Structure 1
């Protein structure tokens, strides 16, 4: 198959898979995309080429982007080589690529120091989430210190001054999800 035929086939498979994952019939997706069910069926089976205006309508109906429907299936995008960053008693490994939807960042952190005092805690729009993989975390939320043990998770508003540190003498290892604002704020630390 040529590269164009491979992409065409992949787009058709993705459309059908997304439709089925939502539990939609051909009729349901066709109605949402303003296409006839027979036209959509021919698109999914390869009996008809996909016009750009149809692809836009189908992507919108599936709550997907055109980029998501046509992105490369190559393995080069699968393996992420974590970026390691060490500062102030914290080692961070960024585990997501720059193409992550919504600008979310997943990172693993090894923290060896307690959370900083309130006047050094950060604030930014959004929410942060983390789970403790090993050790015990001390989460500063304003004046409060919340202890989060291994196997537990925390989610909190980041408009409250916050910081995460190790609780006690042993380091804590966490897995965290940060919004774009959170990632930027944590890079400034």
Structure 2
């Protein structure tokens, strides 16, 4: 019985929060779902039990599904506490639990000890993107060497041989890598 009350309370909160997020008054939402404003008010405040025949028009008016409205809020911890992985000259923290739309987010700290020889340059399908958080990154992209400073970002085709190194001291970057980029940059022991 407690679970039912908690679920009902969560549904009430989600209806109210969704309505307010859209900037709608009680009257506005009530008109959109053919329920009186007083009934909608009692639903939101808990002074009336919620009936399925009322939820369907409410969710439709709010542009949500019933599943979204009643989905459990018992999510795992939303805070990600990444463990650093170390290779010579590179420390990596994975900032996403799983791939986000086919991409992995990682923070990297690169020092001068990271190998930057031509044989370590990667080529793989896709595009890489990174932003510099602190320091200056040295991006070797084909025959070009580009300096990317704190507050700047780089995006490039990964079919061009490339390697990211530190310039003038350690550099910290955040990177979004597609599947091929993740495999090439995070799982290749050659760094």
Question: Same fold, TM exceeding 0.5?
Answer: yes
What secondary structure, in the 3-state scheme, does the structure 1 residue paired with 2:13 have?
Answer: helix
SS in 2 for 1:107: strand
Question: Could you tell me how far apart the structure 1 residues matched to 2:82 and 2:61 are?
Answer: 31
Q: Secondary structure at the match of 1:137?
A: strand
C-alpha displacement at 1:85, in angstroms?
Answer: 2.0
Q: Does structure 2 retain, via aligned residues, the 8 Å contact 1:114–1:167?
A: no
Structure 1 residue runs without a partner (length 5+) = none
Partner residue of 1:91?
A: 91
Q: Kindly report which structure 2 residues correspond to 1:68-107, keeping only aligned pairs within 5 A, or say none.
A: 70-72=71-73, 77-87=77-87, 89-98=89-98, 102=101, 104-107=103-106
Query: Of the two, which has the highest radius of gyration?
Result: 2
- Picking from 30, 36, 57, the partner of 2:34 is 36
C-alpha contact (below 8 Å) 1:114/1:164 kept by paired residues? no
Note the residue ranges of structure 2 that are not aligned, 5 or more in a row.
Answer: none
**Structure 1 residues 155 and 149: alpha-carbon distance in aligned structure 2, compared to 1, 3 A threshold:** closer
Q: Are 1:167 and 2:169 an aligned pair?
A: no
Kindly report structure 1 stretches of 4+ aligned residues shifted beyond 6 Å. Answer: none
Aligned equivalent of 1:131: 131
Contact 1:133 1:173 in 2 (8 A): yes
CA distance in 1, matches of 2:180, 2:51: 38
Q: Figure out how many residues of one structure are paired with residues of the other and give that number.
A: 181
Q: 2:56 aligns to what?
A: 54
Return the TM-score normalized by structure 1: 0.65
CA positional deviation for 1:157: 4.6
Look up the match of 2:16: 16
- Kindly indicate whether the alpha-carbon contact (under 8 Å) linking 1:105 and 1:183 is maintained by their aligned counterparts in 2: yes
Range 2-11 or range 35-44, more displaced: 35-44
